[in-house]
A and B are shown apart, each in its own frame.
Chain A
Amino acid sequence: MGDDDSKKGLVSGLKSVLYGMAGHDMTRYALKTRGSMEHLFILITMGDLLGIPILPPYYSLRLLPYVVPQISTWKRRMLREKDLTDALA
């Protein structure tokens, strides 16, 4: 039983290492693209978030419910000090 568990652990560890080499970068790029899209959404709805009526409010108000859950992580990204070396990885 113990041997089986350690074998399973080894196989899953090797699988994860292989995924880390082959596909993890792709996932990170996908997440970064999503992050950029979120920035755009927040910008579109910024007026309504602040309660300032910027035309046309109808579409941005419809987007608002989708944007609200992202606000906390967006704030972290926006307020964090950025550096050129951020672009390296």
Chain B
Amino acid sequence: MCGVLLTFEDRFIGKEASVSSLYFLAFAVIAIILGYGWYARSISRSVILPDPKRATPATMYMDGVDFTPANRHVLFGYQFKSIAALGPIIGPIVAVQWGWLPAVLWVIFGTLFLGWVQDYSSIMLSVREDGQTFGALSFRLISPRARTILVMFIYFYLLLLMAAFGKIVGFDLMTNPAVPLGVLLVIAIGLLAGQMTYKWKLDILLTTLITVVLAFAGIWAGTLPAVKSFMESLGGGAQSPLFFGNVTWAQFMWSLVVLVICYLGAVLPIWRWAQPINYVAFWIVFLGIAAGTLGLLIWHPSIPASFPAFTNWSGNLTSAAAAAGVDKSFTSLGPLWPILFVTIACGAISGWHSLVSSSGTARQLENESDGLFVGAGAMFLEMFLAILSILTAVVGIGAVQGFGKYADLIGSGKAGGVFALGLAEMMHHVGIPVSFGVSFGAVFLTLMALTIMYLVVRFMRVASAEFLGDSIPFFRNASFGSIVALILSAFLIYTGFWARIWILFGGANQLMASMALLLASVWLMARGKNYLWAFIPAIFMFITTVAALLWTAFAVFRQVATTPNLAVNIMVGNIAAGIIAILLVLAALILVWDGMKALRKLKTGALAEAKA
């Protein structure tokens, strides 16, 4: 046993690390074989019992709009695209601050025991309950106020998503002068794609070919020295001056541009703006992931010995970075448990998936036996994406420029930059120059964020119109609702401390996950089935998330109380973040109280039934 541990120590943690990066992918494949091939299948066969002969809501209530049966492969692609955004990319890169080993373990074991459980059970729960969404299900199965709490979680989740993504795009990616022109041109080309498809009625293949080639040319144009120096002059040069608080002019200007893009995406018809831009962006993202994966397989470098498998329990890079020659001060992310488990949400388990699974996928499932392939399969593929993201940091940057570069970028708040540079190094091995690859990677991430952000503003304005439209009629106006959502987002973007915002975003997300798992447990129990495989993950996620939110609230309030001369914007942002964290915890406690009452009621009912 000791020998095995020593070998592990030597190979993975010690100075003689010579493990190929392909081992990461091999671990992921083993996890899929065990998780999907054995655990998920056996749960499905013994508990869910999918019946291919039973009519699904898609076939029973087909209305040609929401309820429409779709082929299992099409639905798999749809589910994957709907669940995989910036979360499985940025979260794992940030979590590498604890070392790559905890991040890899949580991604793999999180997916294995929690992630697929939530996604699959959400689909099947909705399928068996006539295609009802989580709002209606929580109202019926838990309590009437559970629906209101769910909407509150969703609203805060989306607001925090806007803040976290807005900060990555506006403060990190767009401040790189080689990026903005590429992003703006891809948006313009997306509009052209909409015109070609819907107005000129051109063939979709021709449209795709022309617009994707133009998009690549646009990204390349952004890297030209003249363009870069122009963009730099707009943002105030390499050392952009402070505009207010700790926000530079470049950060302020580019995040404002991002908010304007989101406004247009929220108020213009979907076919005119959001849809065609998303379509062109999809090809950029897809080709980027394909080129990066291929490059990694060709290159397959060893994990660099200098890149720590484990740094420390508090996720503080100061000592590890100092050893690598980086002279920067780092803020501790927080204790490994619970903070790591909310830092990586998508990629391990994410509440967002349950909403997509119940509102979209369940209503298109043609056959009950397709549910496992679609729900669990897409989750395991997302796990692969999260592993690839970890590798962009560990080998993409680590094997070429060393751990110091990763620490330097993270210390400068450039988690997006880590991915862009790491992906560029991987794509270099399929012949793409690194200088272009970095811009491409940054445009890729920016588009991935933007395509979600304007749809989020759209939803936020619908939600505010629904809840406030009667008392404040202004909210029925699309522009007004969108502007209010954007002002709230801008408030958090300009005041919030990114790492804390990200953790809160993960916290809101994971609370939705624990609610989805609780709902699945209640449903399973109501039908007298084994519910522990969903209930134990629900308890784990609930305790972990509440602990993470309480710790974050404590950390931000402590910073306000103990730091002298704290910039006003940071002080305001910290107080807002602390209040959001406490509100989320209170809502979660009410929810779990109602959930437990529902469980107790079901248990008593089952007992009475057995006696009778």
Contact = CB atoms under 8 A, between A and B. Distances in A.
A86 B154 CA distance: 13
Interface in B58-108: 61-68, 70-71, 73-82
B463 A84 contact: yes
B580 to A, nearest CB: 20
A89 interface: yes
Interface in A29-68: 29, 31-35
A14 B275 CA distance: 22
Top 4 closest pairs, chain A to chain B, by CB: A20-B77, A89-B360, A16-B73, A35-B65
A26 B280 CA distance: 12
Interface stretch (B132-140, B163-171, B493-501, B517-525): B132-140
A81 interface: yes
Interface string B455-496: 000010011001000000000000000000000000000000
Given A23-B204, A89-B360, A18 B151 contact: no
B56 interface: no
Interface in B30-71: 61-68, 70-71
A88 B81 contact: no
B64 A35 contact: yes
Given A76-B63, A77-B63, A81-B136, A88 B78 contact: no
Contacts of A17: 73-74, 76-77, 80
Contacts of B135: 83-86
Given A13-B73, A20-B75, A20-B78, A83 B275 contact: no
A20 B61 contact: no
Contacts of B65: 31-32, 34-35, 73, 77
Given A16-B73, A31-B68, A73-B62, A84 B466 contact: yes
A8 interface: no
A19 B76 CA distance: 10
A33 B275 CA distance: 13
A87 interface: yes
B355 interface: yes
A24 interface: yes
Contacts of A13: 73
Interface in B349-375: 355-356, 358-361
B313 interface: no
Nearest to A12: B73
Contact of B271 (A23, A29, A89): A29
5 contacts: A24-B74, A24-B77, A32-B66, A84-B154, A85-B135
A89 B462 contact: no
A47 to B, nearest CB: 23
A35 B135 CA distance: 22
B463 A77 contact: no
B73 A89 contact: no
Contacts of B68: 28, 31
Given A21-B286, A34-B64, A88-B459, A83 B76 contact: no
Interface residues of A, number: 34
Interface of B: 61-68, 70-71, 73-82, 132-136, 147, 150-151, 154, 204, 270-271, 275, 278-279, 282-283, 286, 355-356, 358-361, 459, 462-463, 466
Residue from B63, B70, B81, B355 with most neighbouring chain A CB atoms (10 Å): B63
Given A16-B77, A17-B77, A84-B151, A76 B61 contact: yes
Nearest to B61: A76
Interface of A: 12-14, 16-26, 28-29, 31-35, 73-74, 76-77, 80-81, 83-89
Given A77-B65, A77-B66, A20 B74 contact: yes
Nearest to A77: B63
Interface centre among B68, B74, B204 (most CB of A within 10 A): B74
A88 B80 contact: no
A80 B133 CA distance: 11
A26 B275 contact: yes
Contacts of B361: 89
A42 B25 CA distance: 54
B63 A89 contact: no
A35 B68 CA distance: 12
A14 B63 CA distance: 27
Given A29-B275, A87-B463, A88-B133, 19 more contacts: A18-B286, A20-B73, A20-B81, A21-B282, A23-B204, A24-B75, A25-B278, A29-B270, A76-B61, A77-B65, A81-B132, A83-B132, A83-B133, A84-B151, A85-B150, A85-B358, A85-B359, A86-B66, A86-B359
Contacts of A77: 63, 65-66
A86 to B, nearest CB: 6
A89 B360 CA distance: 5
A65 to B, nearest CB: 18
Nearest to B354: A85
Contacts of B76: 17, 20
Nearest to A26: B275
A73 B67 CA distance: 10
- Give the interface centre of A13, A77, A83 by most chain B CB atoms within 10 Å: A83
A19 B205 CA distance: 12
Contacts of A26: 275, 279
Contact of B64 (A20, A23, A31): A31
B278 A21 contact: no
Contacts of B133: 83, 85-86, 88
Contacts of A83: 132-133, 135-136, 147
A31 to B, nearest CB: 5
A56 B61 CA distance: 34
A12, A18, A74, A80: residue with the most chain B Cβ atoms closer than 10 Å: A80
